Amino acid sequence: MVPADLGVSSATELDGATVCIQTGTTTELNLADYFRVNGMSYEPVPIETNAEAQQQYLAGACDVYTTDVSGLAATRAGFENPGSHVILPEVISKEPLGPAVRHGDEQWSDIVRWTLNALIAAEEYGVTLDNLEEMAAAPTDNPEINRLLGTEGNLGEMFGLDAEWAVRAIGVAGNYGEIFAATIGADTPIGLERGLNAQYTEGGLLYSPPFR
């Protein structure tokens, strides 16, 4: 992320820039790799926390602030003038984020994993907050939707839940796409596009295993 008045539109234009970077993180290593690959130099401005990074960046102590794209977007949304700052288009590492659980708790791990799968599958099959109650009331012509919503099969029993577990999960805030749009999507202050975080049918990487 850079101030808009810096006039930079690509990370490839940052040769010689000062960069606020949180020490001891993979972001620090990714930054070094990116500049090395592109034959550029930079001057690191080490910081300890995201709050310190914001303070230093806004004070002009560095030209650039780098962290995960979602973190940059959330940080920018909290600025007094978000439009005065630009998130550059290059994504310089592949570090997908997702839910994590304590090692060794296999049942809870299964529940968390399949809850995420349910939200992703619900988006793929068109199950939304608006039609959830109707679709869950009786079996549909699509057996995968039926297994997702518990009107067919016994997936919930496999990890200790009842047949309506996915219905309750979707009923909180909708399917994956609805949650994304409402919390961090393009029409929110954070303003993230789906990109690779879209369904595989839309050019993204998201898909769920079959509900069997």
Q: 3-state class of 206 per DSSP?
A: strand
The closest of 83, 74, 57 to 192, measured between CA atoms, is 74
Is the CB of residue 52 less than 8 Å from the CB of residue 58? no
Q: Phi then psi for 138, rounded to 5 degrees?
A: -155, 155
pLDDT for residue 3 is more than 90: yes
Query: Which domains, and CATH codes, for the chain?
Result: 2-86 (3.40.190.10), 106-202 (no CATH)
- Residue 164 corresponds to which tokens in the numbers above? 């309506």
51-106 pLDDT per residue, tens: 898 899 999 999 999 988 888 999 999 999 999 999 999 988 887 888 999 999 99
151-194 pLDDT per residue, tens: 999 999 998 999 999 999 999 999 999 999 999 999 998 888 99
Query: Max CA-CA distance within the chain?
Result: 63
